[in-house]
Chains A and B, each alone.
Chain A
Amino acid sequence: MPAAIEIINLTKTYRSLFGLRQVTAVDNLNLHVDEGEVFGFLGPNGAGKTTTIKILLGILYPSSGECKLFGEQFTSSSAFAPETADSRLKASIGYLPEGPYFHEFLTGREVLAFYGRLYGLGGQNLKKRISETLEIVGMEYAADRLVQHYSKGMRQRVGLAQALLSDPKLLILDEPTVGLDPIARREIRDLLLKLKGLGKTLFICSHELSEVEMVCERIGIVNHGKLIKYGKLVDLAFKDRAVEIHVASLSDETRKKLEALNCITGKHETGLTSIRLPARQAVYDVLDVLKASSTDVVEVLSQKESLEDLFIRTVKEEVA
């Protein structure tokens, strides 16, 4: 099965008018998102996330490298590349921009009708899709109000509705829960999980790391345009994290053997003896020592790192 998104050696450099100054927003980025996957694309402000998204959507053009969507080349740095393939592939993408802005003179329903027509929808089919998406995002009650009277959260919901209009295979969501109250945030999160259940591919760019942690399977962290962490969330969160083993008691001989393995032993607040392992790779060696000495193992605790900790640590390490 081809990847939903494949980014190959993507570089985007912004140049000033006479090329005197240049800023590399995306630097040789490689990324692979499978079909049906929920991928979190993270990074601090100015890391190159939105630039990457815009390239994926054909709003920006890369300086070099390429993007493939569902196995087909989508954007190219070539000035002569045809637009036709881009146009066809765009039909399978739904996009929610960060802080979506709509024509103020339209009502929510008219906004959806406008974007629906751009997808080639019309007549009863368009009306049906508008009703369905309004219901999904919980905006039926305000659909006939002018957008200029909408709150930030309401605009966000209409933005999500327009992204869902064409029932796309791939959803690119830039900060989907920003500006929403906790109830709406939960509703959007549930909706994303529901979309995931329907087999949609979700590419989520967000600073709400707890949301990402709950929804995404894999993440990529970018900084200064470079991909600095990439993989399954569960692997990244547990990788290189300390393991602590609690035992009922420890003989001096076993203690010495454990210290030879660079373990730190001590008294835990529960009265048990704790053994802190230097790295999770040492867990089997330590368990072998404990088994040989017939030590009573009470629990083995693997300290999982939250996505927020992982994100901050990764970015700080990269800066250092």
Chain B
Amino acid sequence: MNSIVIGLNAYRESIRKKTLIAFLLFAMLVIGTSTFLTVLSPGEEIKMVKDVCLSSISFFGMLIAVFGAGALIPQETDNRTIHTILSKPMRRITYLLGKYLGAQLTILLNLGLMAVLFLVILYLQSRRYVDESQAPFSATALVTMKAMVLVFFEMLVLSALALAVSTLSTSATLPVIVGIFIYIVGHSVNYLKNLSEHAPSEFMSIIIRQFYLILPNFSNFYLRNQLIHNDPYVPQGILKLFAYAFLYAAFGLLIAYLLFRKKDM
């Protein structure tokens, strides 16, 4: 129950943050103006719109997730609100889960707004470039929704890891940097495998392979090809991907709890 109280409060706090509002506005601007970029690829206008919009949603979603989740605890530590909160009858895990819940609500709201604009743009584009070979808008909408759900799964993992790092930090800088690093490397995990095989030394190969094994593979959550080809089939299965994301998020929260449990505040 206390987690919900903390979560709702964290959500109310996050949606007022100027940084997060700026990210959302930027994302909306990029999505909204994506139609103007179609001049760069005549004949592939819808593909272009889908590509730009999905990349923007993933990128700005990542920024919102790492800034949102990574700043919650350092900010409350900095302004000392955390002392009053932790003096109340509540376990620290409750506090952490509450903060995580608040971050998810913020991410959901932002992704939701971006997804709605994305669908509106796609709808307008589908009316503008009527192509008999293209699937109907309902099919596009279905794949788009699936793509958005997977972006959210990715953010579940990223925000949990950013929250874990934030328990060690006195400012949001470290969790944000680590979060962005995990996002970039997480999207390049498949390259890491190749890199480990062609590493100049055995030692480097082992190190890179450990990264490959430990880091979440975010390319699983990126449905670019399916979206472009209106293919609703998700190779790994949505439930499996949810379980994958859930396990990584749970791991992140476990690390956060172990670091935060007896931390001097």
Binding site for B on A (CB under 8 A): 14, 54, 57-61, 79, 83-84, 86-91, 93, 95, 97, 99-103, 105-106, 114-115, 117-120, 159, 162
B5 to chain A, nearest CB (A): 4
Residues in B with CB closer than 8 Å to A114 are 5, 9
User: Which residues does chain A contribute within 8 Å of B81, judged by CB atoms?
Assistant: 101-103
Which of chain A's residues has its CB closest to B15's CB?
A105
The reply to whether B265 and A59 form a contact with Cβ atoms under 8 Å apart is yes
A57–B82 CA distance with the chains assembled, in angstroms: 12
Contacts of B86 in A (CB 8 A): 57-59
Interface residues of B in 76-121 (CB under 8 A from A): 79-93
Distance of A54 Cα from B83 Cα, bound (Å): 8
Nearest CB in chain B to that of A114: its residue: B9
A97 and B88 in contact, given A103-B9, A114-B5 (Cβ under 8 angstroms): no
CA distance A89 to B90 in the complex (A): 10
Q: Which residues of A contact B12 (CB under 8 A)?
A: 103, 105-106
Q: Chain B contacts of A103 at CB under 8 A?
A: 9, 12-13, 81
Given contacts A101-B81, A114-B9, contact A59 B87 (CB under 8 A): yes
Show 9 A/B contacts (Cβ-Cβ < 8 Å), sorted by A: A57-B83, A59-B82, A59-B264, A60-B265, A83-B91, A99-B80, A106-B12, A115-B84, A117-B2
Shortest Cβ gap from A81 to chain B (Å)? 9
- Name which residue of chain B comes closest to A162, CB basis: B84
How far apart sit A124 and B5, CA to CA, in the bound complex (Å)? 17
Bound form: Cα–Cα A83–B265 in Å? 15
> 3 smallest A-B Cβ distances: which pairs?
A118-B88, A91-B89, A90-B89
Cβ–Cβ < 8 Å partners of B6 in chain A: 118
Most buried by A among B89, B90, B92, B264: B89
A residues less than 8 Å from B93 (CB atoms):
83
- With contacts A101-B80, A105-B16 taken as known, whether A57 is within 8 angstroms of B87 at the C-beta atoms is yes
In this assembly, does B262 line the interface, its C-beta being within 8 Å of a C-beta of chain A?
Answer: yes
| Bound Cα distance A86, B94 (Å) | 13
- CB B236 to nearest CB in A, in angstroms, measures 38
Chain B interface residue number, banded: 20 to 34
B80 partner residues in chain A, CB cutoff 8 A: 97, 99, 101
- B88 contact set on A, CB distance < 8 A: 90, 115, 118-119
What chain A residues lie within 8 Å of B84 (beta carbons)? Answer: 95, 97, 100-102, 115, 159, 162
Residue in A14, A58, A89 whose Cβ sees the most chain B Cβ within 10 Å? A58
Q: Given A83-B261, A97-B80, A97-B84, A120–B13 Cβ distance below 8 Å? A: no
Residue of A nearest to B264 (CB): A60
* B1 is an interface residue with CB less than 8 A from chain A: yes
Q: Which of B247-265 contact A (CB under 8 A)?
A: 261-262, 264-265
Which residues on B sit within 8 Å (CB–CB) of A95? 83-84, 87
Flag if B262 contacts A79 (CB, 8 Å).
yes
Residues of A within 8 A of B1 (CB): 117, 120
* A118 engages B13 (CB within 8 Å): no
Q: A95-B83, A118-B6 are in contact. List 17 more A-B contacts (CB 8 A).
A: A14-B264, A54-B265, A60-B264, A60-B265, A83-B91, A86-B91, A87-B89, A87-B91, A97-B80, A101-B81, A101-B84, A103-B81, A114-B9, A115-B85, A118-B2, A118-B5, A120-B1
Question: What is the distance, in angstroms, from B61's C-beta to the closest C-beta of chain A?
Answer: 24
- Do B262 and A97 have beta carbons less than 8 Å apart? no
**Contact partner, B90, options A99, A118, A159, Cβ 8 Å:** A118
Smallest Cβ-Cβ distance to B9: which chain A residue:
A114
Smallest Cβ distance from B174 to chain A, in angstroms? 14
Instruction: Please report the C-alpha to C-alpha distance between residue A118 and residue B7 in the assembled complex, in whole angstroms.
Output: 12
Contact B13 A97 (CB under 8 A): no
Most-contacted residue by chain A among B12, B87, B90, B264 (CB, 10 A) = B87
Chain B residue numbers with a CB within 8 Å of A91 are 89
Chain A's nearest CB lies how many Å from the CB of B243?
Answer: 29
Chain A contacts for B262, CB-based, 8 A: 61, 79
Interchain nearest-CB distance for B6 vs A (Å): 8
On whether the beta carbons of A120 and B79 are closer than 8 Å, the reply is: no
Question: Which B residues are CB-close (under 8 A) to A102?
Answer: 81, 84
The answer on a CB contact under 8 Å between B89 and A101 is no
- Which B residues, 161 to 213, have Cβ-Cβ distances below 8 Å to chain A? none
A58 engages B87 (CB within 8 Å): yes
